[in-house]
């Protein structure tokens, strides 16, 4: 072997070593290496070859380039994985911290429900119709009985029983137009005989069918409205007298109804946040009376799973509200007794990470939004300056009035006003819509639902930034602070009047007068 050949062999080996070193860093604590350092390292591994052979020089140069590229790829991957590991570590410490502070029963309940629902969520995407040993029917979809059987008994049980018994089981199934009982393939992609194919694109609707009649309804109502109050008391009477339903209302409404008439002694409410946190284990159905803001309010009461919502329209727009309040008897009668379609509206979970606390364990609960989280310039007259990342990839810097990170349900709200597209609520995605960007080319984006977005206020930002959640709870973000958001595992199921698509199209036609234009006259050019 010549001296040059030996030098080249060493090059090969060193390139491998260099890449392997980057990979090792993935598992330990990693500090990201700059590209300059990376380049220097590559040259250190590949010393110049002293030869007059031009081909060998060229080859050695090519090997250096390959080595550099490989090293950069490996470093990038290591950095991304280190970041993901950091988030995971924070999440796990947060979970552990919560486990200590919460009462064991509450912890046990929420964990077992969470586990079961995660199991159900995985079934939603990877459908299996196998019969469940624990008593799930196994037919035509998902059965909620398993969750209910496992409701956790424990020392705090008494205080929960003070209110009502368990919620009733129901099943979810998929169907398509004209085939309400049909069971459809749920695998999105299959890989058979080496060919990648996407599953049949049927009009999948999700049906909810009660295993036994619902027993408990929660009313969430718009405040300070006489018409809402009158309708609420009428509906409560009707549900109690004709269907023997247990009724929950918010503490404010409970007081109002009791002042009105002692007849309402049977209604139940909650006294504190801890009781409210267990509400989802007792309530079968939520009825909202008001506009979209009332649906947003109802969603905000549930930081975890949410029972199905039947929304009655008493506002001006009612985009997420298909049921006419005048026909409440017929509508509620149907929902209580027959299977109905639901729209699963995804929510976003948001965390604010303060620069001052970035090395500490995050203990705050996520803030859940049904429409959007907005970061704007508040009272400041300067441009907001926000750095945005999607997973570990840099997306862009927003310079303008702000940014809206929206769910698909929120796509017809603030995001629409800022130029975002309208998206069917069952499309799995996250909208990234700038507010008045000071750039001609900043178009809105729609990102896949599985990404995590990070919006950071850089230290050189001139203006302030303020985050708000479904238009409420404004929080100031200082330099170095970040907002992290991703899709929550707890969607809001809303009952449909017809089905998800028909209801959505009705809303954009009737609510927004979408593409309303007079037809052209027939007597124009041939
Ligand atoms: N420029 C804007 O369009 C703008 C500005 C601020 C807030 N908002 C929206 O208002 C929401 C808060 O609603 P609120 O009722 O508490 O405040 P609000 O009383 O100010 O009402 C806002 C309006 O937005 C409508 N709306 C809410 N969610 C909607 C949705 N998903 N699709 C279509 N329309 C929807 C409501 O029907 C209402 O007419 C925020 O989440 C935000 O999306 C919009
Ligand atoms: N149960 C509730 N408790 C406290 N605030 C509520 C409740 N329900 C609704 N709100 C608030 O009241 C405001 C108005 O409610 P909503 O949007 O439902 O009525 P609206 O303005 O008449 O409807 P629309 O916007 O369609 O005209 C919203 O900001 C909402 O957050």
Residue whose CA is closest, atom 3 of ligand 1?
414
Q: Is 408 in the pocket of ligand 1 (CB under 6 A)?
A: no
Q: Cβ(287)–Cβ(235) under 8 Å?
A: yes
CB atoms within 10 A of CB 316: 8
- 347 phi, psi to nearest 5 deg: -120, 160
Query: What pLDDT shows up at residue 52?
Result: 53
What average pLDDT does this structure show over 109-114? 38
**pLDDT per residue as tens digits for the range 257-273:** 999 999 999 999 999 99
Q: Cβ(416)–Cβ(431) under 8 Å?
A: no
Distance 448 CA to ligand 2 centre (A): 30
- pLDDT bracket for residue 468 (50, 70, 90): very high
Query: What pLDDT shows up at residue 85?
Result: 63
Q: Is 142 in the pocket of ligand 1 (CB under 6 A)?
A: no
Percent of all residues in the chain with a pLDDT value above 70, rounded to a whole number: 64
What average pLDDT does this structure show over 112-136? 37
Atom of ligand 2 nearest to the CA of 298: 1
Give CA–CA dist 382/400, Å, rounded: 9
- 82 phi, psi to nearest 5 deg: -65, -40
Give CA–CA dist 384/117, Å, rounded: 39
Give CA–CA dist 404/425, Å, rounded: 17
Query: What pLDDT shows up at residue 425?
Result: 97
Query: Ligand 1: which of 220, 410, 471 to mutate, judged by most atoms within 8 Å of the beta carbon?
Result: 471
Distance 493 CA to ligand 1 centre (A): 19
Q: Is residue 95 pLDDT above 50, yes or no?
A: yes
Query: What pLDDT shows up at residue 167?
Result: 82
Q: Is 295 in the pocket of ligand 1 (CB under 6 A)?
A: no
Q: Is 293 in the pocket of ligand 1 (CB under 6 A)?
A: yes
**pLDDT per residue as tens digits for the range 184-234:** 444 455 666 677 777 665 557 899 999 999 999 999 999 999 999 999 999
Structure tokens at 317: 């727009």
Q: Is residue 299 pLDDT above 90, yes or no?
A: yes
Q: Is 436 in the pocket of ligand 2 (CB under 6 A)?
A: no
Distance 407 CA to ligand 1 centre (A): 13
Q: Is 293 in the pocket of ligand 2 (CB under 6 A)?
A: yes
Query: Ligand 1: which of 290, 292, 411 to mutate, judged by most atoms within 8 Å of the beta carbon?
Result: 292
Distance 293 CA to ligand 2 centre (A): 4
Query: What pLDDT shows up at residue 60?
Result: 72
Q: Is 290 in the pocket of ligand 2 (CB under 6 A)?
A: yes
Q: Is 417 in the pocket of ligand 1 (CB under 6 A)?
A: yes
Query: What pLDDT shows up at residue 92?
Result: 63
**pLDDT per residue as tens digits for the range 388-441:** 999 999 999 999 999 999 999 999 999 999 999 999 999 999 999 999 999 999
What does each C-alpha distance from 374 to 274, 350, 404, 516 come to in angstroms? 29, 11, 4, 29
pLDDT higher for 137 or 164?
164
Query: What pLDDT shows up at residue 165?
Result: 60
Name the average pLDDT for the chain.
78
473-480 contact pairs (CB < 8 A, 24+): 473/367, 474/378, 475/352, 476/378, 477/352, 477/375, 478/354, 478/355, 479/355, 480/354, 480/355, 480/356, 480/358, 480/456
What average pLDDT does this structure show over 77-97? 62
Cβ neighbours of residue 382 closer than 8 Å, sequence gap 6 or more: 462, 463
Q: Is residue 119 pLDDT above 60, yes or no?
A: no
Q: Is 420 in the pocket of ligand 1 (CB under 6 A)?
A: no
Residue whose CA is closest, atom 8 of ligand 1?
414
Count of all residues that appear for the chain in the document: 526
Query: What pLDDT shows up at residue 408?
Result: 98
Give CA–CA dist 240/263, Å, rounded: 11
ipTM above 0.85, yes or no: yes
Residue whose CA is closest, atom 16 of ligand 1?
293
What average pLDDT does this structure show over 2-31? 41
- Bridge-based pairing of strands 465-469 and 472-477 is antiparallel
Q: Of the candidates 300, 302, 290, which has an alpha carbon nearest to the alpha carbon of residue 310?
A: 290
Query: What pLDDT shows up at residue 409?
Result: 98
Q: Is 414 in the pocket of ligand 1 (CB under 6 A)?
A: yes
161 noted as active-site residue: no
Domains of the chain, earliest start first: 3-98 (no CATH), 105-345 (3.40.50.10330), 348-487 (2.60.200.30)
Give 457's DSSP letter: -
Q: Cβ(364)–Cβ(351) under 8 Å?
A: yes
Q: Is residue 157 pLDDT above 50, yes or no?
A: no
Distance 311 CA to ligand 2 centre (A): 13
Query: What pLDDT shows up at residue 503?
Result: 97
413-434 b/e (C-beta count within 10 Å ≥ 16 → b): bbbbebebbebebbeebbbbbb
Q: Of the candidates 167, 365, 193, which has an alpha carbon nearest to the alpha carbon of residue 281?
A: 167
Which numbered ligand comes closest to the C-alpha of 286? Answer: 2
pLDDT higher for 58 or 150?
58
Question: 118-132, 153-167, 256-270: which has the minimum mean pLDDT?
Answer: 118-132
What average pLDDT does this structure show over 454-480? 94
Query: What pLDDT shows up at residue 400?
Result: 96
Check 292, 376, 401, 503 and give the catalytic one. Answer: 292
Structure tokens at 87: 């988030």
Query: What pLDDT shows up at residue 105?
Result: 33
Question: 68-72, 240-244, 482-486: which has the minimum mean pLDDT?
Answer: 68-72
Q: Cβ(389)–Cβ(382) under 8 Å?
A: no
Q: Is residue 243 pLDDT above 60, yes or no?
A: yes
Give CA–CA dist 301/273, Å, rounded: 10
Query: What pLDDT shows up at residue 348?
Result: 98
Which numbered ligand comes closest to the C-alpha of 420? Answer: 1
Which numbered ligand comes closest to the C-alpha of 316? Answer: 2
Residue whose CA is closest, atom 6 of ligand 2?
222
Query: What pLDDT shows up at residue 417?
Result: 98
Give 211's DSSP letter: S
Q: Cβ(251)–Cβ(272) under 8 Å?
A: no
Query: What pLDDT shows up at residue 326?
Result: 94
Query: What pLDDT shows up at residue 238?
Result: 97
Q: Is residue 96 pLDDT above 90, yes or no?
A: no
Q: Is residue 121 pLDDT above 50, yes or no?
A: no
57-64 contact pairs (CB < 8 A, 24+): 59/8, 60/7, 60/8, 60/11, 63/8, 63/11, 63/12, 63/15, 64/11
What angle in degrees, to the nearest 10, is found between the helix axes of 328-337 and 226-243?
Answer: 40
């Amino acid at each position: 072997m010549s001296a040059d050949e030996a030098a080249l062999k060493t090059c090969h080996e060193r390139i491998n070593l260099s890449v392997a070193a980057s990979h090792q860093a993935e598992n330990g604590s990693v500090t990201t290496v700059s590209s300059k350092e990376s380049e220097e390292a590559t040259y250190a591994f590949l010393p110049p070859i002293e030869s007059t052979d031009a081909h060998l020089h060229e080859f050695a140069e090519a090997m250096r380039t390959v080595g550099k590229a490989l090293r950069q790829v490996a470093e990038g991957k290591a950095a991304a994985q280190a970041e993901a590991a950091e988030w995971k570590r924070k999440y796990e410490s947060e979970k552990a911290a919560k486990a200590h502070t919460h009462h064991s029963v509450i912890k046990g309940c929420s964990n077992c429900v969470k586990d079961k629902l995660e199991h159900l969520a995985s079934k939603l995407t990877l459908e299996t119709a196998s019969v469940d040993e624990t008593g799930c029917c196994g037919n035509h979809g998902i059965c909620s009985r398993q969750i209910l059987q496992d409701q956790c008994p424990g020392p705090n049980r008494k205080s929960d029983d003070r209110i009502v018994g368990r919620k009733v089981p129901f099943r979810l199934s998929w169907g398509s137009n004209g085939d309400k009982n049909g069971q459809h393939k749920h695998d999105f992609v299959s890989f058979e005989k080496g060919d990648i194919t996407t599953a049949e694109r049927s009009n999948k609707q999700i049906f909810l069918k009660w295993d036994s009649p619902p027993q408990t309804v929660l009313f969430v109502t718009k405040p300070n409205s006489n018409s809402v109050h009158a309708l609420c008391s009428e509906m409560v009477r009707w549900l109690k007298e004709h269907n023997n339903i247990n009724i929950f209302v918010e503490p404010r409404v409970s007081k109002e109804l009791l002042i009105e008439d002692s007849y309402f002694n049977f209604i139940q409410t909650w006294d504190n946040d801890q009781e409210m946190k267990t509400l989802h284990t007792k309530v079968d159905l939520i009825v909202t009376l008001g506009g979209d803001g009332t649906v947003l309010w109802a969603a905000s009461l549930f930081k975890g799973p949410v029972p199905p919502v039947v929304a009655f329209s008493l506002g001006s727009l009612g985009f997420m509200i298909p049921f006419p309040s005048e026909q409440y008897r017929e509508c509620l009668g149907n929902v209580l007794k027959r299977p109905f379609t639901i729209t699963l509206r995804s929510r976003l979970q948001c965390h604010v990470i303060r620069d001052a606390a970035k090395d500490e364990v995050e203990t705050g609960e996520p803030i859940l939004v049904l429409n959007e989280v907005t970061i704007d310039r508040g009272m400041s007259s300067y441009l907001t300056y926000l750095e945005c990342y999607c997973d570990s990839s840099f997306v862009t810097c927003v310079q303008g009035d702000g940014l809206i990170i929206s769910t698909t349900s929120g796509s017809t709200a603030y995001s629409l006003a800022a130029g975002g597209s309208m998206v069917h609520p069952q499309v799995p995605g996250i909208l990234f819509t700038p507010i008045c960007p000071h750039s001609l080319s900043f178009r809105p984006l729609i990102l896949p639902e599985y990404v995590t977005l990070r919006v950071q206020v850089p230290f050189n930002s001139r203006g302030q930034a303020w985050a708000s959640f479904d238009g409420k709870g404004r929080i100031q973000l200082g330099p170095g602070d970040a907002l992290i958001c991703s899709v929550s595992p707890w969607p809001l199921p809303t009952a449909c009047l017809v089905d998800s698509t028909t209801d959505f199209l009705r809303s954009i036609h009737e609510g927004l007068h979408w593409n309303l234009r007079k037809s052209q006259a027939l007597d124009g050019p041939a």
